[in-house]
Amino acid sequence: MKDLFADLNEVQKQAVSTIEGPLMIIAGAGSGKTRVLTYRIAHLIDKGVDSFNILALTFTNKAAREMKERISLLIGGTEAKNLWMGTFHSVFARILRAEAIKLGFPSNFTIYDQQDCINVIKKIINELQLDTDIYKPKQVLGRISSYKNNLITVRAYFNNPELIQADTAAMRPKIGNIYQAYVERCFKSGAMDFDDLLLRTNELLTRFPESLAKYQDRFRYIMVDEYQDTNHSQYLIVKALASRFENICVVGDDAQSIYAFRGANIKNILNFKKDYPDAKIIPLEQNYRSTQIIVEAANEVIAKNRDQLEKNVWTQNPSGDKIPVYRALSDADEANYVASEIFSLKMSQQKKNKNFAILYRTNAQSRAIEEALRKKNISYKVFGGLSFYQRKEIKDLLAYLRVLVNPKDQEALLRIINYPARGIGDTTVNKLIVGADQQQKSLDEILNQIELLGNSLGINKPTIDKLANFWTMIKSFQVLLKTENVYEVAMKVAVTSGILKTLKEDDTPEGISRVENIQELLNSLQGFVDEQTQLDEGDSSLNFFLENIALASDLDSRDEHDDKVSLMTIHLAKGLEFPVVFIVGLEENLFPSQMSLNTRQELEEERRLFYVALTRAQEKAYFTYATTRFRWGKIVEGEPSRFLEEICEKHLEILNISFTNTIRNHSGLNSDLFADDFAPRYPKSSDPVYKKLKGQIKPPQNLKSISNAKLANPVGGSVANLKIGDYVLHDRFGKGKVVSIEGDPENAKALINFENEGDKKLLLKFAKLKVLG
Ligand SMILES: Nc1ncnc2c1ncn2[C@@H]1O[C@H](COP(=O)(O)OP(=O)(O)OP(=O)(O)O)[C@@H](O)[C@H]1O
Ligand SMILES: [Mg+2]
């Protein structure tokens, strides 16, 4: 056991050793809040608190995993295993699984992602014959989400004339009706959306005192990181759970509250003292992350905000380099500058790709940067954006799996009922939906009796047969699920449903990459099965796999061993740190965003976002802006962001760079430079910059063009020739010896005896094996 206190300063020690009673740590960026939380948990366990009684809520599941690992290292042993740590959504999804029946939901309820929710809303808007230009589905969903996060149920909505009036005044009087239909439909489908995971937890804790008592008793020590970004619903859950023992510790930074648009409520910080009058409040002011210049520049910007708690963040770190400001002539120029700078720092300072982050305000900005990095052969990973699990082919296969677990999941069922095409048209589907509504049944109940009911629903015999065949197939997969592991079942689904066959018929590069994606999903299922069988109490159910996917944020896939430059929006970068950070697109109307210029509060949130971005940097930060940028299909001109002007010139190194990146002027006269931006500038249509920009508008090349032959056996030749008695090396299981091989060459499986992991049966097609001979 390590001396926990050796790694902490005096104030941090005080925070870690205060274990009883309410405690709030409100402190600046990089001052060790997350570190204190980690050490505090280790200290609690060291003091004899059962890890079973500790709950810690983090911003991402990855952050929770890392904290757990750190705690294990600090205290040794396996105690940290029992800790409940994760995001609000994943922790309370787990609780709801156990308690769902009480709320009228099946325990295998589906978790709808945003796309599922939007699909449901679109259908409702359509059925109510409303105009989607007025009732924009995404906006309607946002509205419903904000009601839910403020615990305004449908009934509460209709009892609140003010809300109804507000929606009516916004020319959307039917929002309440959509909300009502939406909630009913989700309930009928046995599905919860993200907001429901919190709303239903609140319902559970309020309606069922015995459940409240049970979890209060269990979670005797509660900790919340990034407290500034909790919403009302989360606040109430924490408050309810903590009300018995009041051992609650929240850490946060009001200057980093950046999720107001999603309902985060900064008042939660201000109310803490009211809720717990005895609360101890500890400020941390020493920043350990960044150079002096970065800390001072960040302080200067945030000082312009009126709504903030007084703080004095300082650091003993070296003063560091000034922050270069690069004025680019276009987004492509900006991207090339960033890529060249990364390239040269890698050369001159032996930096690794993973030491760099490029942060931007909107996802769309990544495209130009990606292109520039690709040209320089710098590997990168884009976080956010369209995640792997949202791709059509992946959602299709997942929809089959969802129906197996929860046949009431109507979104999933409608997605696959005629995919791949099996002659069940929209008219038939509508008849099924109408029939189900009339008979107060769910679609799966109708399908269960389709041979009996089909006729009365006006469906002809051949179509009834098709429906019956489809449903028999689904049932047969469900039976399989009882005996086979989830990988085997998914493989069977992909083949038998015809998904793989249909995708393989398309031999364009896009089609091939879809097949690859399906194989990647199957790989991850195999990985999941392997991983769960290794854990003593692993839950290897399909349900658990699907839940992990539904709750996974893209950030969870960040791998420290992956040497890649990180590209992400600033919102995602919260809590992270990188040696070198580029903040790009520092232009008025982009950052601060155009949408935020209406009120002081909105502008202040943008400024906090800037503060978050800059304080991610440890050794060096860069600012860039472009005087012209390709946005919304046209070229727009940009002025430097006001945030640049809020930083004292002495912290900046103004680079006056020509288009070719050669001449640098280190004059430091940023005001001159900014003045220059009011002068007429590029582009004119005859201008080379304009032409260059236009040249960029090509659709992105699909880089994957792997032949079908390779797809059929992605492992290549070596494993194909595997013999009994060969020694092999597996990524995770280590060294082993082949005991037997079975099955046809396409689907051969080998039983391998691993030195440390014992016997495992692996499908050679996917197993990452190296033959040692
Ligand atoms: N007492 C200390 N001695 C040495 N390093 C420290 C100390 N406290 C914190 N650090 C380091 O400083 C960095 C910032 O710490 P941490 O991430 O905990 O700060 P934070 O307050 O949570 O930041 P943010 O506001 O960005 O979430 C980390 O690399 C951490 O290991
Ligand atoms: Mg932190």
The mean pLDDT of 72-85, rounded to a whole number, is 86
Ligand 1, atom 18, lies closest to the CA of 32
Categorize the per-residue pLDDT at 337 as very low, low, confident or very high, splitting at 50, 70 and 90: very high
Using most ligand atoms within 8 A of CB, pick from 7, 34, 35, 299 the residue to mutate for ligand 1.
Answer: 35
The mean pLDDT of 181-200, rounded to a whole number, is 96
Q: Please check the confidence at residue 239 and state whether its pLDDT lies above 80.
A: yes
Q: Is residue 706 part of a domain?
A: no
> What distance in Å separates the CA atoms of residue 556 and residue 215, rounded to the nearest whole number?
27
> What distance in Å separates the CA atoms of residue 158 and residue 147, rounded to the nearest whole number?
12
| Residues 389-402 pLDDT 10s | 888 999 999 999 99
Q: Is residue 693 part of a domain?
A: no
Tokens of 654: 């103004």
For residue 579, report the distance from its CA to the centre of ligand 1, in Å. 13
28 is in an annotated binding site: yes
Tell the burial category of 386 from Cβ atoms under 10 Å away from its Cβ (0-12, 13-18, 19+): exposed
- Which of 643, 640, 572, 597 lies closest to 303, judged by CA? 643
Q: Is residue 462 part of a domain?
A: yes
> What distance in Å separates the CA atoms of residue 38 and residue 63, rounded to the nearest whole number?
11
Judge if 36 and 180 occupy the same domain: no
Structure confidence at residue 271 (pLDDT): 87
32 ligand 1 Cβ < 6 A: yes
Q: Is residue 267 part of a domain?
A: yes
> What distance in Å separates the CA atoms of residue 653 and residue 645, rounded to the nearest whole number?
13
Judge if 513 and 437 occupy the same domain: yes
Structure confidence at residue 562 (pLDDT): 87
Categorize the per-residue pLDDT at 270 as very low, low, confident or very high, splitting at 50, 70 and 90: confident
628 is in an annotated binding site: no
Categorize the per-residue pLDDT at 766 as very low, low, confident or very high, splitting at 50, 70 and 90: low
Judge if 34 and 140 occupy the same domain: no
Tokens of 18: 């205060």
34 ligand 1 Cβ < 6 A: yes
Q: Please check the confidence at residue 235 and state whether its pLDDT lies above 50.
A: yes
* Residues designated as active site: 33-34, 225-226, 256, 616
For residue 36, report the distance from its CA to the centre of ligand 2, in Å. 9
504 is in an annotated binding site: no
Q: Which CATH number goes with the domain that contains 344?
A: 3.40.50.300
289 ligand 1 Cβ < 6 A: yes
Query: What residue type is 131 in one-letter code?
Result: D
Contacts of 464 (CB under 8 A, 6+ apart): 450, 451, 454, 455
Given the DSSP bridges, would you call strands 727-730 and 734-742 parallel, antiparallel or unpaired? Answer: antiparallel
Q: Is residue 689 part of a domain?
A: no
107 is in an annotated binding site: no
Tokens of 675: 């003045």
Contacts of 475 (CB under 8 A, 6+ apart): none
Query: What residue type is 767 in one-letter code?
Result: A
299 ligand 1 Cβ < 6 A: no
Q: What is the ipTM of this complex?
A: 0.99
- Which of 731, 734, 732, 726 lies closest to 771, judged by CA? 726
Q: Is residue 672 part of a domain?
A: no
Q: Please check the confidence at residue 40 and state whether its pLDDT lies above 90.
A: yes
Percent of the chain having pLDDT more than 70? 90
Mean pLDDT taken over the chain: 87
* DSSP assignments along 468-533, one per residue: HHHHHHHHHHHHHHHHS-HHHHHHHHHHHTSHHHHHHT--SHHHHHHHHHHHHHHHHHHHHHHHHH
Separation in Å, CA 203 to CA 14, 55, 197, 239: 36, 20, 10, 14
Judge if 90 and 119 occupy the same domain: no
Judge if 133 and 218 occupy the same domain: no
Q: Is residue 74 part of a domain?
A: yes
Q: Please check the confidence at residue 702 and state whether its pLDDT lies above 60.
A: no
Q: Which of 618, 639, 654 is where one domain is finished?
A: 654
pTM of the model: 0.80
Owning domain of residue 759: 726-772
Judge if 328 and 440 occupy the same domain: no
Percent of the chain having pLDDT more than 90? 68
Ligand 1, atom 30, lies closest to the CA of 32
Residue with tokens 């509205």: 143
Judge if 96 and 213 occupy the same domain: yes
Using most ligand atoms within 8 A of CB, pick from 37, 223, 289, 291 the residue to mutate for ligand 1.
Answer: 289
Number of folded domains that form the chain: 5
H/E element, 626: strand 617-626
Least confident of 13-22, 251-260, 616-625: 251-260
Spell out the alpha helix ranges (H) of 555-623. 570-573, 600-614
Structure confidence at residue 23 (pLDDT): 97
Judge if 435 and 544 occupy the same domain: yes
The mean pLDDT of 33-38, rounded to a whole number, is 95
Judge if 222 and 328 occupy the same domain: no
Q: Enumerate the β-bridge partners of residue 280.
A: 23
Q: Is residue 293 part of a domain?
A: no
